[in-house]
Amino acid sequence: MSTEETTTPLTASTAGTENDGRPRLTDRFGRPLRDLRISVTDRCNFRCNYCMPKEVFGRDYEFLSRREVLTFEEIARVARVFVAAGVEKIRLTGGEPTVRRDLPMLIEMLSPIPGLKDLTLTTNGSRLTTLAKPLKEAGLTRVTVSLDSLDDAIFRRMNDVDFPVARVLDGIEAAKEAGLSPIKINTVVRRGMNEGGIVEIARRFRGTGITVRFIEFMDVGNSNGWRLDDVAPAREIIETISREFPLEPVHPAYRGEVAKRWRYKDGAGEIGVISSVTQNFCGDCTRIRLSADGRLYTCLFATAGHDLRKLLRGGATDEEIVAFVGGIWRVREDRYSELRSQATPGLRKIEMSYIGG
Task: Give the per-residue pLDDT at 5.
Answer: 35
Q: Is residue 4 part of a domain?
A: no
pLDDT bin (cut points 50, 70, 90) of residue 7 is: very low
- Cα–Cα distance measured from residue 289 to residue 36, given in angstroms and rounded to the nearest whole number: 6
pLDDT tens across 139-192, in order?
A: 999 999 999 999 999 999 999 999 999 999 999 999 999 999 999 999 999 998
List, in sequence order, every residue forming a beta bridge with 297; answer none if it has no partner: 289
Taking residues 61-71, what's their average pLDDT? 96
Q: Is residue 39 part of a domain?
A: yes
pLDDT tens across 295-304, in order?
A: 999 987 777 7
The answer, yes or no, to whether residue 66 has pLDDT greater than 50, is yes
292 versus 13: the higher-pLDDT residue is 292
Q: Is residue 237 part of a domain?
A: yes
The answer, yes or no, to whether residue 16 has pLDDT greater than 60, is no
- Cα–Cα distance measured from residue 255 to residue 111, given in angstroms and rounded to the nearest whole number: 23
Task: Give the per-residue pLDDT at 14.
Answer: 42
The answer, yes or no, to whether residue 121 has pLDDT greater than 50, is yes
pTM of this prediction? 0.86
The answer, yes or no, to whether residue 220 has pLDDT greater than 70, is no
The contacts of residue 2 (CB under 8 Å, 6+ apart) are: 306, 307
Please say whether the beta carbons of 93 and 357 come within 8 A: yes
Q: SS3 for the chain, per residue? A: CCCCCCCCCCCHHHHCECCCCCECCECCCCCECCEEEEECCCCCCCCCCCCCCCCCCCCCCCCCCCCCCCCHHHHHHHHHHHHHCCCCEEEEECCCHHHCCCHHHHHHHHCCCCCCCEEEEEECCCCHHHHHHHHHHHCCCEEEEECCCCCHHHHHHHHCCCCCHHHHHHHHHHHHHHCCCCCEEEEEEECCCCHHHHHHHHHHHCCCCCEEEEEECCCCCCCCCCCHHHECCHHHHHHHHHHHCCEEEECCCCCCCCCEEEEECCCCCEEEEECCCCCCCCCCCCEEEECCCCEEECCCCCCCCEECHHHHCCCCCHHHHHHHHHHHHHCCCCCHHHHCCCCHHHCCCCCHHHHCC
Q: Is residue 3 part of a domain?
A: no
Structurally, the chain folds into a number of domains equal to 1
Q: Is residue 2 part of a domain?
A: no
Task: Give the per-residue pLDDT at 300.
Answer: 76
Task: Give the per-residue pLDDT at 9.
Answer: 39
Taking residues 58-62, what's their average pLDDT? 92
Distances (CA, A) of 285 to 136, 281, 340: 28, 9, 16
Q: Is residue 314 part of a domain?
A: yes
AA letter at 290: L
Taking residues 117-122, what's their average pLDDT? 97
pLDDT tens across 230-275, in order?
A: 888 999 999 999 999 999 999 888 776 778 999 999 999 999 998 8
Structural domain span for residue 348: 12-355
Q: Is residue 260 part of a domain?
A: yes
What is the percent of the chain with per-residue pLDDT over 90, rounded to a whole number?
Answer: 68
Residue 149's domain is classified under what CATH number?
A: 3.20.20.70
The answer, yes or no, to whether residue 12 has pLDDT greater than 70, is no
Q: Which of 89-93, 110-114, 352-356 has the lowest mean pLDDT?
A: 352-356
- Cα–Cα distance measured from residue 176 to residue 142, given in angstroms and rounded to the nearest whole number: 9
pLDDT bin (cut points 50, 70, 90) of residue 3 is: very low
Taking residues 49-54, what's their average pLDDT? 87
pLDDT bin (cut points 50, 70, 90) of residue 228 is: confident
Q: Is residue 88 part of a domain?
A: yes
